Structure 1
């Protein structure tokens, strides 16, 4: 139970709590305005301080971090089994919110080892705020080890709702942006259901969020090229794998030739020599053709036709002239013979050169073939290194393509997988709810009992437990006209049910705290009945219920016969005087 809320500032109005019903009443006067609690009496500020001292996270906007309060150290005394005297005091300030001071070294006891000093003489100890939240989870909620999805802070937010977080908007959430799966997981634990199954929806929600982000990325013209589609990537992977196979075969068959560059130069030289020989052959063949044509055109000079011609002309040639013609013919024949001999010698020379070059070309061709075969079968060490580098780059490229393919495949298949997993989870959760009929019945009966105490036995009230598509659905139902007052009383009955069930089975603390905002718009009779019901239940269950009330609301309940004797805390807050609020001064 919560025992005392105090501060090291003497102006602070210390509050001492007792078992059962505790009413912290704030007086209202004619001059009271419609102010929030931080600028008024401090009813909601008390709730904020309880959260602060029970390990809530803080920022610059948090109440204890405000300039007027930052240097004040606030303290909360509460029951703690194993501590000296059964009680523990925790102290924390807005100036150093990351550190909490415990009046005793209960951290060593919880960790399973002895303190440096005997517990009777152990003094205060400072521990990190994160460690304090772990101690609270272990002591108040029985949580130890890893419990993903469960949070002591979240469960405390159900037991101590905060108006600043809009926790009174709906029974099954503690703040407006809280996911259904996160809230339902923690409620499942408090009510004795399979919280791990309920937490499975958190994983599905996370996968859906990731899928939505990836889908948006794929639709983006830039990011879409990074992921791609399975059809495009499949073809790219096939081509890439073929390139890898080809390079691997080349490397496997590769033989390093030590004189590779020398052989390459020799091959170039042979190629040039063969081209030169072919050029020379072309010239000689053209010359040979000319020589052969010249041989064909060279013939003996025949002058026998001259004498008949002259005779027909009436000219008679003498013997001396005839002898002269014979001499000319003989001379001409000698010239023809000499020319034929010269042409024959030149032709033979050309043919000899052609034959020689053919042999030389054949020899060079054989050598070139051997050199090229050697070059084709192997290469230089640099060439092998280049091939290996090309293979490594291609393998890396194919690996990246496979990762993109897997991402695209996951994205395209994730919708079906998520749907299938959701159906499996719903089926398992429905079966579990059937098996846990005892737990659901206990909570439903309590809720119905509490609601009928407020609205009569004719009002149908129950808790609905169902495996929904996105979370475990826990829905409180009370036949009503959907007014704000009845909606707030649904939260009251639900919180009281949750606190009782959790405390009965060792899954929650023995206190419940409500801010006065819960009773806004509540009918006078329901307010009276709610206070009486809370007193009876907490006494019967050995629990504590702390509630803040405006004095005019209390007076309404008293006019309906409510007896507040012994339940109103000695400290009464007042918004008329500067020192009448919780902190004892205005800020």
Structure 2
């Protein structure tokens, strides 16, 4: 495996404050104010930016904001791998990227970093680990990287667990096994859900019906539908014939109505023919005799003439009514003949349709048969898939149970004991009266995690103690971890800002002591107020060590004294 150390961070812009990292031990980058009122402060001078630029040169995804603000800037990181010098140059907008002056793409750089051997990635190809995902544990750049010691920004719980256990040297095979088995169960259940949501089955399950019972009913109903189809005789022109029959039926109704009207007229005429005259001859004679008293006799016609006229009128009316009656009766006869022929034709047409059906009716039965056949096929396939899924789920659950037993056996060996001793020693230096430790518990729940891993330090819900917990755990991974040969650890000021000065002082005192016997680099960026407040708690030797470790002091009173040497909001 390869040892990686940082040498220098520089830029093609003269205003940039080049950082020359100490080859071993402590490297301090201090951000300070001028000490004058309203002259600026140590925030925003470029301490965190320096760390961000190191990540930029080590294959991090490009920052659009960085590229937009500094389009002409190119940054260069010099570093060593097993004592051999390397350099990466990358422009702020990532249009320029070179490894040892050879143009390279970001993904190619990331692949090269995976292969150089800083992390033991060869044996764990299927795990979510890479140089980029692991180096963040040694150089936490985002605020969200500094919340919990066993995770960084945007990590899923499974990813965080694997990377943490990998870096402390614990067996991750059972972690990977449970993840893969649980994902398989999830995929099986999703496949089952997809089947249930298919158009042929969706309404069935939404109504709460049982698939097996429905399949049994379909198996019994389909033969009945088939028999019904076989018995149907389709008349291709069924509707045309039916239309003709309906038209003739309507004509029959119209003829019946016309005949009834004609019969009514016949009856009326017959009644008129048998009605007696309104006045008799004797009554008419009496009337004329009475008129002679009033009128002169010569003024009145002779009665015989009048009676003759009356008789002729009556006879003419009778002849006319009789003629009308004969004409109507003849018309009735014609229409009844027409009606009989029409009724016969209609009945013959209806007889031709007897026992036959329209194509639409046949098609409706055929469609129902096809739909139920398709539904039965889908149900049978679903039932088969469901049975296989249940069988495979049981097999997976047995494997999970066996893995849970193996995990319990593994935990019984107390694999964290040595690491926990060192971690407690670190935390006791900072908080002598606070309990601390590392816990690894078997997670038997139906989830993706094999273990519940926790880093403990009493009172760590407060920012200061929480950040101290991160400092101690990072140092544990850095100095006593596994599967890596990282030779630098970088802590930004945000991890020091909320520590009590005494805790901060004890941290640096302990770190300086630890570094004496190693070739490792510990890089810290710190505000001057945080730096100065702890100096009084250090020995003269420790103060001198810290002062000699300073490689750069950035000031906030003038843009030229900041890291970039210009005023820019990043």
Structure 2-normalised TM-score? 0.62
Match of 1:31 in 2: 38
Match of 2:407 in 1: 429
Match of 2:163 in 1: 186
**1:539 Cα deviation (Å)?**
3.2
Cα offsets for 1:408-456 (capped at 9, x unmatched): 5678789877766554443322323334x4x522211110111112223
Alignment of 1:341-490 (within 5 A): 401=379, 404-405=382-383, 422-435=400-413, 437=414, 440-456=416-432, 458-468=433-443, 469=445, 470=447, 471=449, 472-480=451-459, 482-490=461-469
Closer/same/farther in 2, CA of residues 78 and 239 from structure 1, 3 Å limit: farther
Match of 1:131 in 2: 108
Q: Does 1:101 align with 2:98?
A: yes
Structure 2 gap ranges (5+): 225-368
**Partner of 1:541: helix, strand, or coil?**
coil
CA distance in 2 between counterparts of 1:510 and 1:413 reads 50
**Partner of 2:122: helix, strand, or coil?**
coil
CA distance in 2 between counterparts of 1:473 and 1:584 reads 47
Closer/same/farther in 2, CA of residues 69 and 214 from structure 1, 3 Å limit: farther
Match of 2:61 in 1: 57
Alignment of 1:248-263 (within 5 A): none
**1:202 Cα deviation (Å)?**
3.6
Closer/same/farther in 2, CA of residues 153 and 228 from structure 1, 3 Å limit: farther
**1:71 Cα deviation (Å)?**
3.2
Q: Is the 8 A contact 1:3 1:17 kept in 2?
A: yes
Q: Is the 8 A contact 2:196 2:205 kept in 1?
A: no
Q: Is the 8 A contact 2:136 2:152 kept in 1?
A: yes
CA distance in 1 between counterparts of 2:196 and 2:159 reads 30
Cα offsets for 1:268-316 (capped at 9, x unmatched): xxxxxxxxxxxxxxxxxxxxxxxxxxxxxxxxxxxxxxxxxxxxxxxxx
CA distance in 1 between counterparts of 2:220 and 2:426 reads 74
CA distance in 2 between counterparts of 1:23 and 1:445 reads 28
Q: Is the 8 A contact 1:217 1:224 kept in 2?
A: no
Match of 2:287 in 1: none
**1:465 Cα deviation (Å)?**
1.9
CA distance in 1 between counterparts of 2:384 and 2:89 reads 53
Match of 2:543 in 1: 563
**Partner of 2:103: helix, strand, or coil?**
strand
CA distance in 2 between counterparts of 1:518 and 1:151 reads 25
Match of 1:90 in 2: 88
Q: Is the 8 A contact 1:227 1:407 kept in 2?
A: no
Closer/same/farther in 2, CA of residues 558 and 196 from structure 1, 3 Å limit: same
| Range moving further from structure 2, 529-538 or 229-238 | 229-238
Cα offsets for 1:344-371 (capped at 9, x unmatched): xxxxxxxxxxxxxxxxxxxxxxxxxxxx
CA distance in 2 between counterparts of 1:32 and 1:209 reads 59
Match of 2:242 in 1: none
| Range moving further from structure 2, 128-137 or 523-532 | 128-137
**Partner of 1:91: helix, strand, or coil?**
strand
Q: Does 1:48 align with 2:27?
A: no
Alignment of 1:7-26 (within 5 A): 7-18=11-22, 19-26=24-31
**Partner of 2:430: helix, strand, or coil?**
helix
**Partner of 1:535: helix, strand, or coil?**
helix
Closer/same/farther in 2, CA of residues 506 and 406 from structure 1, 3 Å limit: same
CA RMSD of aligned residues (A): 4.3
Closer/same/farther in 2, CA of residues 423 and 575 from structure 1, 3 Å limit: farther
Match of 2:250 in 1: none
| Range moving further from structure 2, 139-148 or 485-494 | 139-148
CA distance in 2 between counterparts of 1:74 and 1:406 reads 61
**Partner of 2:16: helix, strand, or coil?**
coil
**1:50 Cα deviation (Å)?**
1.7
Closer/same/farther in 2, CA of residues 143 and 528 from structure 1, 3 Å limit: same
**Partner of 2:562: helix, strand, or coil?**
coil
Match of 1:170 in 2: 148
Structure 1 gap ranges (5+): 104-123, 247-390
**1:55 Cα deviation (Å)?**
1.5
Cα offsets for 1:527-575 (capped at 9, x unmatched): 0111122222233232111111001111111121251535433321111
Q: Does 1:70 align with 2:51?
A: no
Q: Does 1:148 align with 2:123?
A: no
Structure 1-normalised TM-score? 0.61
Match of 2:557 in 1: 576
